[in-house]
Structure formats: C-alpha cells, structure tokens
Amino acid sequence: MGKSTFARALIDFRPENVPEPFWFSFYENQDVKLGDILEKLAAYMKAPEITTFKLESREPGKIDVDNLIGELNNMSEIWIFFDDLSIILEDTKFSDKGIELLFSSLRYNTHEAKIIITSRILPKLENGESLIDVVEGEEKHHLNGLRTDFAVDYLVKNGLGSLELDKLKELVDGVDGHPLALKLLVELVKDYSVGDVLEDLSLYKEQTKDTILKARKLFEKLAGDEIGLLERISVYREPVGMKGLKKMFTETTAQNAVKNLIDKSLLETDHKGNYWLHSLVQEFSYDGLDNKKEVHKLAMDYYLSLPISKKPAKKEDIQPLIEAYHHACVAEEYDQAFHIIDNNLHKYLNLWGNYTALVDLCSKILSKNQFGEESFLKDKRDHRTILEILGMAYYYLGQSRKSIEYCEQALKINKEIGDICGICGKCGEKTELSTLGNVYCDLGEYTKAIEYHKQALKISKVTKDRKGESIAFANLGSAYSGLGEYTKAIEYCEQALKINKEIGDRHVEGSSLGILGSVYYDMKEYAKAIEYYEKALKIAQDTGDRGTEEICLEKLGIVYIVLGEYTKTIEYCEQALKINKATENRNGESIAFANLGSAYSGLGEYTKAIEYCEQALKINKEIGDRHVEGSSLGILGSAYNGLGEYTKAIEYCEQALKINKEIGDRQEESIALASLGFAYRSLSEYAKAIEYYEKALKITQDTGDRGTEEICLGNIGIAHRELGEYAKAIEYYEKALKIAQDIGDRQGGGTSLGNLGNVYHDMKEYTKAIEYYEKALEINPEAPNTYYNKACTQSLMNKKNEALTDLKSAIELDPKYKEYAKKDKDFENLWDTRNFKDIITSNKEN
C-alpha cells in the first residue's frame, strides 16, 4: 500500500487525546532547509523560541535543534509526520547536513513526540546507523496495513459501531487493514448487509491474496451505476471544478451522481469547488476506461475553455494550457497539441526559464525516432518548429551537443521543404542559426559562432526583421568578445541597443545589455560590467523574464568572485539558485552550486565550499554537463589546497584537467594547471610547480586571455622567489605588472608591485622594497599583507616608528597579523618595546 496513504490514515485513527498532528511533505518541499522546517514546527507548536536564529540573523544550527527538543519535552504527546523523506536522500544518506542534524537529534534525544517517517529508502546517518530501528527478523519499516485495534476503532467511529466486535475484526481481516478498503467497507455495509459484504470478502480471499485486488473488487461493487462517470473523471491529473466533472457527463448520467460518489467516499472534495479522486480509485477507474482517447479529448476541450490570465507571471498561471496539451497528446491529437504549444505556451515557458518543462512537453509530440522520417505532425514545418524549440531549450540547459543535434535537424528540414522563412513566413531559419551560434560561442569556437550569427543577421535584414537584427548584432558582440576583439564587440552591442530603442523591445534590450556587461567583464572593466548587468537585471525583473534574470544574477556573482567580494557573490548566486530550482533548470542549479563553492572557498570556508561543489557534481553526473563538472572538480581542488590537503587537491585537479582537455575547455584547463602548480609549490616541489604554471601560461598566451596570463606570470614569479632565484622572479613579476598596466587591472598591478617588494626584501635591498610597497599601497590602501611586509622591512632598517605605524595598520585591517608579528624575527628588535606590546594586545579591529 502507499506510504503516504498509510500515514494519512494514521492521522484519522489516532487516539482522541492526540491533537491534530504536524505534517511535512518533502515531496512538496524538495529545496527545504533546516530553518524552513524549524519555522513550520515553531508555528505548529506555538514556540517562537525555536526560531531565535532569525532574530539573530544567523544560520540555524545545533542550538536551535536543542531548543526544539527542549520544547518537545515540555509538551504532552504530539505526532510529527515527515512524508517522503527519500526525496532528499542521496542513496541512503542525507544530502543536507542541517536536516541530518535535526533527525539524528530526534532519534537520539528523549522527548514526548511520536515521529512518523515515510520513505522508499531506509535512511542512514553519517555514523552509519539506521535512522529507524529495525528489529532482527522483522522489517519494522515495511507498511502492510493498519493494526486491527486501530482499524476497528476507525470502523466504529464511522458508523459501524452497532456491529459485533467479531464482525468488525472479520471485516478488517478481510481487507488486511488497508485504509482505502476500510473507507469503502464503511459505505458498502451501509448500502448492503454486513453478511453480504463478508460473503464477498470471503470470495475475494479465495480468489486473491493481494490486498489491492480486494480493494478493487470492493470499489467495483460500491461504484455501481456511477462507475462510468468515475472512469471518465479519472483522466484528470489534478483537481477540477464542477464544470470539469460535468464535461464527463453523458445522457445517462444521473443528476445526483456527483453527490452519490462523494457520499460513497469515491470522489474527494475540499468543499470549495474542487474535486479529485483518491490515487487508487483513479488507478482502478482509469484501468476500466475503454475509450481513453475520446475522453482525453473531452478533457482537452475542458481545459481550453478555461480563462487564462491576461498577464501570466509563472507556470501555474498557464497550467490549463499545459493540461490541455497533455490531454491532446494522450488523445493523439498532435496537430491540436502543436497549436497549443505554438500559441504562446512555449514563449511563456522560455521567458520564465522553464526549459526542463519545455523539453518534457515537446518530446511528447515527437515520435520515438525524433530525427526519423515518421512524424506525428502533418505539416513538416510544425515538426521543424518543435525541433527548433528543443534546440533552444537544450542550449539554455547547457546541453550543447543535444542543442546542436536538434538545430541541425531543423535546418535540414528547412532545406528539404525549401522553407527559408519558417512558420511565420518572415523570420527564416535564423532561430536555429542564432542558437547554433550561441552554442559554439559557449564551446569557445568563436569563429564558427560568428559564421552562424552573420547568416542569421543576413536573413533578418532580407526579411526586414528588426528584432532579429538586434539579436544577431548582440550575439556577434558576444562572439567577438570571446576572440578578444573588444572594440568590435562593443560596436555590435551598441547597434543592437540602438535598434532596441527604435522597436521598444525590452526583453531583447535586457539581453543586449547583459551581453555588453559580459564584454566589459572580458575586458576586466568590472565596474562597467556590473553597471550593465544590473541594468539588464532590472529589465528582466520588470518584464518577468526569469531566464535572463537568472543569467544576470549568475554573471554578477561571478564578477564579485573576481573582485573578492564573496558575500555579494553568495547573495546573487543564492537568488539564481532559487530561480533554477523553481524552473527545474538542473544545469543552472549546478552552475550556482559551483559558484557558491568558489565563493566559500574565497572566504576560507573550505568545508562549505566542498559541500556545494559536491552538490554541483551530483547534478552534473545526472545531466552529463562536463563543462560544469570540470569546473566543479577544479574548485574542489582549490578548496583542498586551502585546507592544506594537497594530495587530495592534486587528485581533483587532475580529474578536472582530464575532462577539460577532453572537451576542449582551454580556460578551465589553464585554471586546473595553475591549481596543480599551487599544490606542488605548497609541497615544496618547485620544479614541478613551475612546469604546471608554465603549461597554464602557454594556454593563456595561445587563447589571448591576458588576465589569466598575468596571474600565471605572478605564480611563476612566486615559485622562483621561493627557490631563491630572485632575478627570474623579478622578470616574471615585471611581465605580470606590464600586462596589468596594459589591460587596466589595477588590483593585479598592486599585487605585482607588492610581490616585487617581497623579492627586494629577500635580497635585502630594503629601500627598493619600500618603494614598491608604497606604490602597491597607492593602488590598494587596504591591503593588510602589504602594510605588514612594509613594516617588516622598516623594522630591519631600524625605522622603528615607521614599522610600528605600518604594523598597526595591518592589524587594524586584519587582526591575524598580531600572531604573525609575535613570532616574526623581522620584529625581534621591537618585541620588548612598549609600543609593540600595546599594538599586539590592542583589541581594536576594523
């Protein structure tokens, strides 16, 4: 029997002294966090003490779970249901540490609550122990039916109290305590004698031992003349109104049929105008329905008759269209289904970023061999349109190869039918060309991308499609930016924006602004990138374009990673993650998790970084996005570098390197090589470190990625410095500095100047070292490490007052330098001075 059905039945059969239980469905709350559950429990228990974490603006943790346990101890017996726990499990383990903390505390602490859990999988805690006690030889977690005393109590409470106890037990035994069967029994005994029902049960028992089959027999007997209506209603997947029920009436349907079905507990209602069938009743009814196609067509007509909001904002607002489409497909009315999806349904889902839903819907209208000659659609142009929609959806889901397949197949059909203008007669094949261009741009094949975008631009100009021109110009800007031709890229984006202003298309304007932001990001002009991303974000939010909104949030998060403003990155990535979860965009989820991992790694919270990257990897394995998989493995390598677990870091970076080489992602390949260089440098294997750094450097020079080239040069300089090869170190630092100046990277320039100061410090050329430190501080006056290194040099020059001033600045910016200074022999001549001791013991922190 169904686990949720069983759990719901327990609520009906609970003792009278137990209040209405707490119910939480993980199926309906798949993205839930510990804080969400604690909030709901606090509201149910009227115990605000459980949610002090909200008042204190912090993440919930052990102290809050302990507060919950304390409150449970103060209460009389309550029942707490957690339904479908397996939804949030990975294999048998909890994927969320906070929720695992909650359940382990509920298991191992004494309290007055009964915790009822339903799950397809027996959950296990991190320590390997089962969450639920299993008695040897008895599977406590396997659900058969209600205990006899509970079932008898239910029958008595529902009108069968006049029957003898033996008869009641016999009824319960006849259906093995199955909750639905018990409901049906109550109505049957009222309509027939208890003797008749027991005779039937005896017969059913001889025929089958299957409880579900017994329930089916009872259902058929109870349904009687209304069984035909039940069968027709069973095609509905969700609750419907009275209009939906009447759509299924025939000439022979009795006027009181609906009332009869409700009275017999065969039709459920919330008494607010919504009606539905119990899952097993629906299953029994649908199995008996003969003319399924005809009835699904009636359901399609019903949903098409329902009004749709004039300004829909989310998938739920157009659910009647989705239901109509579903029924059209089941009824094999494929041309009607195409008309439904082509008449704005796909545009809304695309606008809101519901790409997974689009793929699911469009796949239903295609034959199993989607690229074969057979088509469910009469018009080949319609078939081409579906392939085009799928190509675009797969692009946004990050499934590049699939996107290429569908777009190329659509183009092939265009050539076969000589349809250069597509279904509207104007737009041509530019949608497929545009999508292919975007895919190849993402794959780093910019020249190929430009070729496709220019074809799309040409068709748009010929057909005088100004919107198409604008899209093509913006896409060309993105491709030329990838080639490092930034002036050309900006020109194309500005042409796109000019057209947008003429035609007043805000959606395309937002997209063009976002692409311009990416151009400035590539140019390392981060302030301008942020400016354009924020403009694009505002338009996306104003117009309800959730797809573009998510992309802008993701891009802003990445910019702030580069700027080292990790808290802002987390803020933007969490917003992006929320949208991706709402739209079921698994690729977007994995990117958001990877970016969050990168941000937490930057904050030094490496354990948290690893958790997020592992979530990204789990999704990558499901959807096969090797690009994000390679990136996630690289971030994991960096996190283990941060934890000082260099062997593990090397293991992950080598995996990342292998994937990036296979898929041709040269940028991520250079990042993996640089991380390997860092790991080997940290292990004092300097020759190996330099070897990896130089491989990374070559890739950046080949691809024209001057920003990463600058970083690689700096890393090689550090390795040579640690080897005592100061002349070589200076050579690489100066090359890095020149690139920083060429591309306007002030932050990077400041880092290189500080590094040059360090080399001259090591060479005991203190005056020159001070000169470089001061230049570095002009660029970044809030760099604690530069103040500290300058203070060390001043101290060695016996400039005590200057050294103390700089040391104080370093400590005010970062208190960890107090501990460094206590052990750093560069300050040995200051250790015994009162001023040094005052600075070290000072509690002042910025």
Q: What is the mean pLDDT of residues 206-225?
A: 70
For residues 55 and 653, which has the higher predicted lDDT (pLDDT)? 653
Nearest Cα to 536, choosing from 562, 554, 523, 524?
554
Alpha carbon 530 to chain centroid, angstroms:
23
Inform me whether the pLDDT recorded for 776 exceeds 90: yes
Residue-level pLDDT at 424: 44
Residue-level pLDDT at 116: 87
DSSP one-letter string for 465-492: -HHHHHHHHHHHHHHHHHTT-HHHHHHH
Residue-level pLDDT at 426: 40
Write out pLDDT tens, residues 88-120: 887 788 888 889 999 988 887 878 788 888 886
Write out pLDDT tens, residues 406-455: 999 999 888 887 755 544 444 448 889 999 999 988 887 889 999 999 99
Write out pLDDT tens, residues 372-400: 667 788 888 899 899 999 999 998 888 88
Residue-level pLDDT at 145: 59
Q: What is the mean pLDDT of residues 748-755?
A: 92
Work out the pLDDT band at 818, boundaries 50, 70, 90: very high
The two tokens of residue 188 are 């049957």
Give the span between the Cα atoms of 633 and 659, in whole angstroms. Answer: 9
Residue-level pLDDT at 339: 95
Query: Strands 22-25 and 78-83: what pairing?
Result: parallel
Alpha carbon 740 to chain centroid, angstroms:
36
Give the span between the Cα atoms of 331 and 470, in whole angstroms. Answer: 41
Q: Mean pLDDT check: name the lowest of 79-83, 199-203, 445-449.
A: 199-203
Residue-level pLDDT at 146: 67
Residue-level pLDDT at 401: 84
Please identify which residue in the block is written with the tokens 């059905």: 5
For 163, list phi and psi in degrees, rounded to 5: -75, 155
DSSP designation for 763 = T
Write out pLDDT tens, residues 454-500: 999 999 998 899 999 999 999 999 999 888 888 999 999 999 999 99
Model-level pTM?
0.66
How much is the mean pLDDT over the chain?
A: 86
Decide: 145 and 176 in contact? Cβ < 8 Å.
yes
Write out pLDDT tens, residues 671-718: 899 999 999 999 999 999 999 999 999 988 887 777 788 889 999 999
Write out pLDDT tens, residues 133-168: 544 444 443 445 567 887 888 788 878 888 888 888
Residue-level pLDDT at 247: 95
Decide: 472 and 457 in contact? Cβ < 8 Å.
yes
- Highest mean pLDDT out of 46-55, 183-192, 578-587, 679-688: 679-688
Work out the pLDDT band at 13, boundaries 50, 70, 90: low
Strands (E), 368-522: none
Inform me whether the pLDDT recorded for 125 exceeds 50: yes
Residue-level pLDDT at 138: 40
3-state helix/strand/coil string of 426-471: CCCCHHHHHHHHHHHHHCCCHHHHHHHHHHHHHHHHHCCCHHHHHH
Strand partners, 114: 79
Residue-level pLDDT at 624: 72
- Highest mean pLDDT out of 88-92, 275-279, 750-754: 750-754
C-beta neighbour count of 252 within 10 angstroms: 9
The two tokens of residue 707 are 């920003």
Work out the pLDDT band at 844, boundaries 50, 70, 90: low
Write out pLDDT tens, residues 14-52: 777 788 889 888 877 777 889 889 988 988 888 888 888
Q: What is the mean pLDDT of residues 821-838?
A: 93
Residue-level pLDDT at 663: 78
Percent of the chain with pLDDT over 70: 92
Decide: 315 and 352 in contact? Cβ < 8 Å.
yes
